[in-house]
């Protein structure tokens, strides 16, 4: 088999890249270890930046998102007994976020690739990639019991945080020490309940952080800061609701409860590798970087990476121009580090650190006061939350 771009990983980065390349007439094959059902059903985050929403609409995969997603023009920060609204729309000159789950984005992209005759192989095994330092790399894998050999011009490593492709970059040419582990995690639930709030609430409290998000009029997504070693089985539904209510209640919010049908613990890490390319291999999304979930940047960063990679590959195929490919790492890392800073900042401002003194808590409150009452500071939050323009 031969294709132009071999894409390892059918997550947001791999599928969006394949879709964008198809629209410019560049062929690709996407492979993934997971089954289609697994990819379409795994619950992840759910907040799309304006640029992600615009890209989905401009490329014809936004219909369901526009129908079923919820456009939010603001978010709430709860602290010191009060809820403060940040008007994202007003402060970012008309930008907003859309709450639409990541696995629904993946369903839309898969359906579109299939409808466009795209080659997406699920449930593959034994993937290897060779020859990234030459100009005809080869991806080998087993699909439906058959050994396959895929010759390509380029390989896109879109295989998430459990990446295989990043390890193809020789030691000594890549830095992987940009890493931070946080001393807490999020306990996340999905519940059959009506919304507790029209817009998201990010709550700072003496008991730690809590986040009230949503999925639909009848399904809600809520998170609260917990110990990374938390076992979800130790938490009864009553205990979960009491804990969330205790964290948001002091600010005046009342949680609407319902049947909890999913529970999980999300680990908190920041990571970036530099560079994000080597020879004919280009990394995109979580294979190259991870952000803590506060601020919901993960999926959006993956989309931004492949938006740049698609343009760079386009310049190569249209005009044999390698300039954008050579500059890929430099181009995308600017945004990656901005998102790293934003996610770290939101995390640090809102969470309770075990070693925090009363000084630290008062300082956090002062920062939250500034962010919600000083227009220039609110604007920094709004512009970053709704997302920088795609490059
Ligand atoms: C969600 C996740 C986030 O990390 C966030 O900052 C906001 C919302 C969510 O899953 O809904």
- DSSP code string of 212-277: EEEEETTEEEEEEEE-TT--GGG--HHHHHHHHHHHHHTTT--PPP-EEEEEEEEEEEEEEEE-SE
Q: Other CB atoms closer than 10 Å to residue 203's CB: what's the count?
A: 25
Is the distance from the beta carbon of residue 347 to the nearest atom of ligand 1 less than 6 Å? no
Catalytic residue among 12, 19, 22, 202: 202
Nearest to 195 by CA among 79, 106, 99: 99
Q: pLDDT at position 299, please?
A: 97
Say if ligand 1 is within 6 A of residue 47 CB: yes
Pull the structure tokens for residue 166. Answer: 């990043």
Distance (Å, rounded) from C-alpha 27 to C-alpha 2? 9
Q: Which long-range contacts (CB under 8 A, 24 or more apart) does 345-348 make?
A: 346/202, 346/294, 346/295, 347/182, 347/268, 347/292, 347/294, 347/295
Active site residue 256: no
Whose structure tokens read 């990043």?
A: 166
Q: Does the annotation count 297 as an active-site position?
A: yes
Instruction: Verify whether ligand 1 is closer than 6 Å to residue 294 (CB atom).
Output: yes
How many angstroms does the Cα of residue 44 sit away from the middle of ligand 1? 9
Q: Residue 199: in which H helix or E strand, if any?
A: none
Q: What is the mean pLDDT of residues 347-362?
A: 96
| pLDDT surpasses 90 at 188 | yes
Strand pairing category for 75-79 and 201-203: parallel
Task: Check pLDDT > 90 for residue 154.
Answer: yes
The residue whose CB lies within 8 Å of the most ligand 1 atoms, and thus the one to mutate among 45, 188, 347, is 45
Rounded Cα–Cα distance for residues 256 and 197 (Å): 9
Q: Give the pLDDT confidence score for residue 45 in this predicted structure.
A: 86
Geometric angle at alpha carbon 186, from 184 and 189, rounded to 5°: 160
Whether the per-residue pLDDT at 43 is higher than 90: the answer is no
Ligand 1: distance of its center to the CA of 208 in Å? 16
pTM over 0.95: yes
Q: Average pLDDT, stretch 35-43?
A: 96
pLDDT at 7: 99
Strands 28-31 and 119-121: parallel
Q: How confident is the model over 81-129, as pLDDT tens digits?
A: 999 999 999 999 999 999 999 999 999 999 999 999 999 999 999 999 9
Nearest Cα residue to 169 out of 157, 185, 183: 157
Q: What is the best residue among 48, 190, 200 to mutate for testing ligand 1's pocket, by most ligand atoms within 8 Å of CB?
A: 200
How much is the average pLDDT of 139-157? 98
Instruction: State how far the Cα of 193 lies from the Cα of 220, in Å rounded to an integer.
Output: 6
pLDDT digits (tens, 9 = 90+) for 267-286: 999 999 999 999 999 999 99
Is residue 198 helix, strand or coil? coil
The yes-or-no verdict on residue 74 having pLDDT over 90 is yes
Token digits of residue 47: 């907040």
Name residues whose C-beta falls within 8 Å of residue 164's C-beta, 6 or more positions apart in sequence.
8, 127, 129, 157
Average pLDDT (45-66) is 97
Distance between alpha carbon 62 and the CA centroid of its chain, in Å?
18
- Active-site residue, from 19, 72, 289, 351: 72
Degrees to nearest 5, angle at CA 292 with 329 and 160: 55
Q: Does the pLDDT value for residue 391 go beyond 90?
A: no
What's the average model confidence in pLDDT over 63-77? 97
Strand order in the sheet with 138-143: 125-130, 138-143, 146-151
For the CA of 44, the closest atom of ligand 1 is: 10
Q: Which residues contact 91 (CB under 8 A, 6 or more apart)?
A: 375, 378, 379, 381, 382, 383
What number is the average pLDDT over the span 184-211? 97
Beta strands (DSSP E) in 35-108 are 47-48, 70-72, 75-79, 82-86, 97-99
| pLDDT > 90: percent of the chain | 98
CB of 222 within 6 A of ligand 1: the answer is no
């Amino acid at each position: 088999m031969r294709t132009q771009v071999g894409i390892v990983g059918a997550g947001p980065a791999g599928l969006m890249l394949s879709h964008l390349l198809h629209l410019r007439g560049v062929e690709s094959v996407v492979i993934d270890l997971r089954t289609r059902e697994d990819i379409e059903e795994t619950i992840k985050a759910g907040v799309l930046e304006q640029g992600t929403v615009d890209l989905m609409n401009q490329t014809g995969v936004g219909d369901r998102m526009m129908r079923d997603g919820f456009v939010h023009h603001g978010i709430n920060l709860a602290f010191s007994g009060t809820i403060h609204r940040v008007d994202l729309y007003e402060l970012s000159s008309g930008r907003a976020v859309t709450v639409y789950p990541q696995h629904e984005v993946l369903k839309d992209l898969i359906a579109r690739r299939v409808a466009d005759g795209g080659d997406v192989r699920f449930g593959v095994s034994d993937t290897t990639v060779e020859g990234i330092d030459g100009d005809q790399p080869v991806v080998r894998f087993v699909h439906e019991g058959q050994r396959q050999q895929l010759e390509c011009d380029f390989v896109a490593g879109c295989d998430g945080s459990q990446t295989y492709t990043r390890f193809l970059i020789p030691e000594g040419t890549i830095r992987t020490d940009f890493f931070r582990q946080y001393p807490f995690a999020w306990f996340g639930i999905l519940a059959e309940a009506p919304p507790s709030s029209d817009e998201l609430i990010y709550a700072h409290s003496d008991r730690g952080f809590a986040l009230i998000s949503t999925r639909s009029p009848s399904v809600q997504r809520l998170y609260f800061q917990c110990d990374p070693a938390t076992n979800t089985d130790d938490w009864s539904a009553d205990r979960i609701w009491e804990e969330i209510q205790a964290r948001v209640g002091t600010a005046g919010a009342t949680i609407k409860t319902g049947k909890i049908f999913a529970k999980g613990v999300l680990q908190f890490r920041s990571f970036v590798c530099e560079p994000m390319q080597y020879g004919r291999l280009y990394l995109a999304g979580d294979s190259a970087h991870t952000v803590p979930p506060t601020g919901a940047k993960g999926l959006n960063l993956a989309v931004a990476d492949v938006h740049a990679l698609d343009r760079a590959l386009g310049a190569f195929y249209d005009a044999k121009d390698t300039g954008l490919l050579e500059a890929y790492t430099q181009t995308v890392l600017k945004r990656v580090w901005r998102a790293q800073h934003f996610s770290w900042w939101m995390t640090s401002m809102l969470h309770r650190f075990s070693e925090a003194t009363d000084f630290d808590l008062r300082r956090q409150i002062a920062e939250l006061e500034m962010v919600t009452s000083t227009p220039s500071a609110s604007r920094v939050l709004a512009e970053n939350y709704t997302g920088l323009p795609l490059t």
